[in-house]
Structure 1
């Protein structure tokens, strides 16, 4: 991001909502509410959050038959569906650090790749501060299990990897939902890899834990840092990027988000819908 981009960001009202713990449907509802707030002239939002309980978030068009619903129910893993595409992601309550950036659409590049480059700037900065040698993927690796986001073919626009002698290993996935009036980018940074639980949430993944480990890495594999310290680093990188003030949700936003979570993101009609259903 050049100096003019930084000045443009700082000239607008941004709030940083430090890490909160929410169930999966509420996390997705809050992303939607943040977009509505920004589009209506309210503050742009930077948020960091934890999934409590652990959650499997499905891609917008993902077939529900790819989920092991019995395992998820037995292990207390919530299942919800994102507004963004791609494969499913198991968000471990300890092993995952998630973030969202929401801003009016006319304040961000129309080009998708350029938009990813701009909005991932603070994420790459956070990895740099943590001494994790992460960068956008440059070369693809063949998909191993398409329903699982972290086992799909790497995409240079939004997949962040740690290079290695045996090939790049994914450490962060990022996705955008582009409305006519707002853009929401959210992403997952892996702090600790939980391959057995990640794979078990899917039906017949045909990949073992060792193979998963060859494709995915976490912050704790590269840096001697606690999860708390890693979260603080992500928060500070986001805040400095946009010159954001620490903020919080309004009571109205929380009420709307709870309603949206109950009616939409927590419903079977949304989560278990089949590809092509509206």
Structure 2
């Protein structure tokens, strides 16, 4: 494995986009990393609000009427896990894209490496956070934030174990065409009613609040500052230069969003 800073990286402080395009643009960034040797770290947000389903999540776990009524889009990720409700205020998301032969082949070691800037950013924000100290059982399996807490890739605050440590960030990876893509969701603020409302079943919003915390609760800083700190930490971690998507990448992402990530076949049945 080479030193990350010896390679060409770009930091993209991305515009808000709808969910299908956000997922498509990660796949396009993977092609760019493999074919052109340009690696990417980025921060981003979702507009309109979106429920992103885990790759194997069953569609009957979703309250489609609630999502339609509340104007919440639905897409499906390439990564596993449960569904996550994202909006432009409460959620801060990030992506890391690198060729597979430049990062650890061991999944846990790769998580540890790729989460370094996330933990560094949370620390700079004033959040006492770390990987979960112990595994905790699921409360409600279809929801990512209410699933079992896994010390390998779930970050909690305050750092440590026990019921006082609540989840603040979920992170997931997948490998495609010799590239590793990690994305994650960090809770800036909580929207428990909308989050649990996206799912079928009788899940109390208070249950969500007992399991999940946020940057706002832990540190009290504003969202713009939190996003800036996260972008800075990602860029410093790999020596990235400020950049932006090329028009041909955006064009390819829009096409892929139409054909795949925004299609009923992909969202409902993983066809695409």
Pairwise TM-score range, normalised by the shorter structure = over 0.9
Q: Could you say which residue in structure 2 is the equivalent of 1:150?
A: 145
Residues in 1 aligned to 2:207 and 2:83: alpha-carbon distance in whole angstroms: 18
Change (3 A) 1:87 1:60: same
Structure 2 residues not aligned, in runs of 5+: none
Is 1:170 the counterpart of 2:167? The answer is: yes
- Matched-pair contact (CA < 8 Å) for 1:144–1:207: no
- Aligned residue in 2 for 1:198: 195
The corresponding residue for 2:176 is: 179
1:104–1:182 contact (8 Å) kept in structure 2: yes
Whole-Å separation in 2 of the counterparts to 1:181 and 1:93:
31
Q: When the two structures are superposed, what TM-score results if normalisation uses the length of structure 2? A: 0.96
Aligned to 2:206: 210
Residues in 1 aligned to 2:135 and 2:164: alpha-carbon distance in whole angstroms: 9
The total of aligned residue pairs comes to: 270
Cα distance in 2 between the residues matched to 1:81 and 1:87: 10
Decide which moves more: 158-167 or 66-75: 158-167
Offset, 1:92: 2.0
Secondary structure (helix, strand or coil) at the match of 1:51 reads: coil
Question: Where in structure 1 are there 5+ consecutive unaligned residues?
Answer: none
Q: Distance in 2 between matches of 1:51 and 1:120?
A: 21
Q: What secondary structure sits across from 1:40 in the alignment? A: helix
Which position in structure 2 is the counterpart of 1:189? 186
1:32 maps to 2:15: no
- Choose from 220, 223, 226 the match for 2:216: 220
Q: Secondary structure at the match of 2:120?
A: helix
Task: Kindly indicate whether the alpha-carbon contact (under 8 Å) linking 2:138 and 2:147 is maintained by their aligned counterparts in 1.
Answer: yes
Whole-angstrom CA distance in 2 between matches of 1:114 and 1:92: 30
Quick check: 158-167 or 123-132, which moved more? 158-167
Q: Which residue of 2 aligns with 1:14?
A: 9
Query: What's the TM-score once normalised by structure 1's chain length?
Result: 0.94
Is 2:52 the counterpart of 1:52? Answer: no
